[in-house]
Every structure is written in structure tokens, then in C-alpha cells.
């Protein structure tokens, strides 16, 4: 079956750099859009130099976020080049994605308001740092700054230890997802009404959205729970435990699963202890229960315990490293990580249509690789 390309014929101009804007562009490119990436002619997207590791002359980070796109270079300060970019957007673009610093585009007459005045059907997606309003609206921001300021770091790691950031660009990539979702919603609305929209999101708003459950807990109870490493504050036992030969993540997420878990551990006594019978009781008495469970788990090898838990339906999974995930049979079965035309294997977007995964397999472009098309107007 041919890969589905629902956005085939749609043109996106990406005024993006680093992670958030490019990830939004990557999502739309995998869905079939033609994504034209606009870069600074002197250095391009700074992510090109985020290495080692490199693949050829560009970083693997840049390659993963920008496959399937075209690259043109534009000097905003050059009136002719800025005018050519304006024509490209007005003549060809269905949408623009931008995550440049506040004020840059306005300084060169390339603002959303100017474009949408001339082309009301244009869908313009802004990805900011701290949002369009408020005391931090003009402040530049990056993923770790927002992980810090949105509270994510406060619920990550272990209590009474130094702050820990989530090890991936969770906020950047989440913001890119929201921008892509905003574009798609606006694109559907435009098909009905003929009008585009200015879509706005930001890293800080995304961080707050990821903090939905902890913030709800604070509003409901007025207290702040400390982080529990691999565990969560609201469910016990729901964390990684060390076996004889490795770590196993075990999610006994309700009372029935807890009883089955205890049966496997040969600790049925825990299921009749009033301090542990219900999840709410286990949460209150976490500090007493977890050492007991940890000691019981430590008697098993990881594979053996995993098989026993699988047999009774208790959710569990081994903790895998990057190299193990890359070669895991489940990864291979899903065909999520596959090579581009330069033989670098990269992860696709995690969605399928009728069992078929949309994906562009073109490698990431070289800086300015498609300038000839840009200058000729194609």
C-alpha cells in the first residue's frame, strides 16, 4: 500500500530553528506537506552544529528533525531577499511556522499581521518561549529553562536531591506538536470558511499543560508532593524495582493488580494489611510498603519476574538503554525507525493511517540546497 500523504499539495514555510519549530515542520512533512525551511545564510539553523555525533557534515540532531524538507537561505536584512521571501509566502504558502526570537520578524516587516492583511487565507503558527502576554513575554527561552520554570523539574527526579531535567526535549517537541495540531485545525476551518488564522503556542504553555495533573492536585489539596524518581505521587506501587540482574518497571495501578502482584511475590499477607488494602492507603503508607516490595522483588531475575507478572496480567517492562531500544524487536516490528536515503535510520512520527505509517524518507537538506528553486520561483 502506498504511504498515505493527507497533506500532499500543502506548502509550509518554516522560519524555525533548534527543535520546536523544526519538529512542527517535520510532523507536517511526514503527513505529506512540502516544507520549505528558511535559514540564515551565514550559519543556518544552529542545530546543524549540535554534535558530535554528526552524519556527514551535519549533526544527527539536525538530521532527525529536518528530513524531508527543502532548505533556502534568506538574509532578512537584504531588501531583495526579504522581498523574495515575502513573495514566496504570499504566492505559495498555506502556512508559516516560526519560533524566532520576539521582534525579529517585525523588525524586517515580516510580521504575521502584515502577511495576513494581504493573504487572509494564510495560517500562521507562532511558537514562543513564555507566551504572548505577561511579564516574561519578551524573554527568550529554551526547553530546560521552561522545564525549570513550569514546575516540570520540581516533579522529576527524587526528593531532597538536586534538580533533574527530563532527558529529552519534552517541552520543545510538545510545543511543535501543538503548533502542528493548531495548523491542522485551522486548515480544516479554512476549508469550510476560507479564512486562515494566527495560531499561537509557547514552551511555557506546553510545560503548564504537561503539569496538568500535579497542578490539579495542588488546587484540590493545597499541598505539594515531592518527586518519587521512577514512581508517581498518586499510585503505589508504580515504579521501577531492582531485580537480581536489572531494573523492572512495575505498574500495579489498582487494587486488583496489587493483589496479583503480591501473589507472584508470595506476599499475600500484604493484601490483607489494612495499611495496604487500597491505593489511597498505600499512598499514605508508601514509606513502609516500598522497602518490603523491593526486598521481595530483589529475589527474582528480571526476565523471570517479568514472565510471571505477564502471566497474571500485571503491567511491567524492563528498563532499556538507547542501544537496546534501537535494536529491540518491538521497535523493528513497528517499523518506526527506518533509514532515509542517506542510510541514516531516523524515527518517524508515531501515527498510522489504515495500518500504514506516513513518512518522508528524504534526508535532511544541506544549507541552501534549494536556493535555485527559490530564486526561480518554483
Active site residues: 172
**Strand, helix or coil at 2?**
coil
Please state, in angstroms and rounded to a whole number, the distance separating the CA atoms of residues 170 and 16.
17
At CA 28, angle to CA 8 and CA 45, rounded to 5? Answer: 125
Q: Distance (Å, rounded) from C-alpha 54 to C-alpha 332?
A: 23
Residue 94 near residue 122, CB atoms below 8 Å = yes
Grid coordinates representing 268 are 499475600
- Exposed/middle/buried for 167, CB within 10 Å: 0-12, 13-18, 19+? exposed
171 contacts 205 by C-beta, under 8 angstroms: no
Q: Do 16 and 24 contact (CB within 8 A), yes or no?
A: yes
Which single residue is written with the C-alpha cell 485545525? 185
Cell of 100: 524566532
Amino acid at each position: 500500500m502506498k504511504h498515505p500523504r493527507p497533506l500532499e499539495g500543502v506548502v509550509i514555510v518554516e522560519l524555525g530553528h533548534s527543535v520546536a519549530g523544526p519538529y512542527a515542520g517535520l510532523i507536517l512533512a511526514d503527513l505529506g506537506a512540502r516544507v520549505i525551511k528558511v535559514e540564515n545564510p551565514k550559519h543556518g539553523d544552529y542545530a546543524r552544529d549540535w554534535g558530535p555525533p554528526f552524519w556527514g557534515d551535519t549533526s544527527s540532531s539536525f538530521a532527525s528533525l529536518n528530513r524531508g524538507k527543502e532548505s533556502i537561505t534568506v538574509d532578512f536584512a537584504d531588501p531583495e531577499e526579504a522581498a523574495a521571501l515575502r513573495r514566496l509566502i504570499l504566492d505559495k504558502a498555506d502556512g508559516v511556522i516560526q519560533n524566532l526570537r520576539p521582534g525579529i520578524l517585525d523588525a524586517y516587516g515580516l510580521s504575521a499581521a502584515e502577511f495576513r492583511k494581504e493573504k487572509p487565507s494564510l495560517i500562521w503558527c507562532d511558537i514562543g518561549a513564555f507566551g504572548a502576554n505577561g511579564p516574561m513575554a519578551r524573554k527568550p527561552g529554551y526547553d530546560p529553562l521552561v522545564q525549570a520554570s513550569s514546575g516540570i523539574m520540581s516533579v522529576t527526579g527524587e526528593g531532597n536531591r538536586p534538580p533533574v531535567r527530563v532527558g529529552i526535549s519534552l517541552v520543545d517537541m510538545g510545543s511543535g506538536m501543538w503548533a502542528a495540531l493548531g495548523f491542522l485545525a485551522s486548515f480544516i476551518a479554512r476549508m469550510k470558511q476560507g479564512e486562515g488564522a494566527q495560531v499561537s503556542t509557547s514552551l511555557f504553555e506546553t510545560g503548564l499543560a504537561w503539569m496538568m495533573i500535579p497542578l490539579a492536585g495542588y488546587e484540590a489539596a493545597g499541598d505539594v508532593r515531592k518527586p518519587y524518581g521512577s514512581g508517581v505521587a498518586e499510585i503505589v506501587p508504580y515504579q521501577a524495582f531492582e531485580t537480581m540482574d536489572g531494573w523492572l518497571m512495575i505498574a500495579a495501578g489498582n487494587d486488583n493488580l496489587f493483589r496479583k502482584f503480591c501473589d507472584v511475590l508470595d506476599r499475600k499477607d500484604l493484601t490483607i494489611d489494612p495499611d495496604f488494602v487500597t491505593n489511597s492507603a498505600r499512598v499514605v503508607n508508601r514509606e513502609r510498603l516500598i522497602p518490603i516490595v523491593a526486598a521481595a522483588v530483589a529475589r527474582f531475575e528480571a526476565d523471570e519476574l517479568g514472565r510471571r507478572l505477564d502471566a497474571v496480567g500485571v503491567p511491567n517492562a524492563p528498563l532499556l538503554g538507547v542501544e537496546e531500544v534501537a535494536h529491540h524487536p518491538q521497535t523493528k516490528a513497528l517499523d518506526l525507525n527506518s533509514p532515509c536515503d542517506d542510510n541514516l535510520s531516523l524515527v518517524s512520527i508515531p501515527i498510522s493511517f489504515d495500518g500504514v505509517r506516513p513518512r518522508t524518507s528524504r534526508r535532511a537538506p544541506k544549507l541552501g540546497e534549494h536556493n535555485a528553486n527559490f530564486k526561480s520561483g518554483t
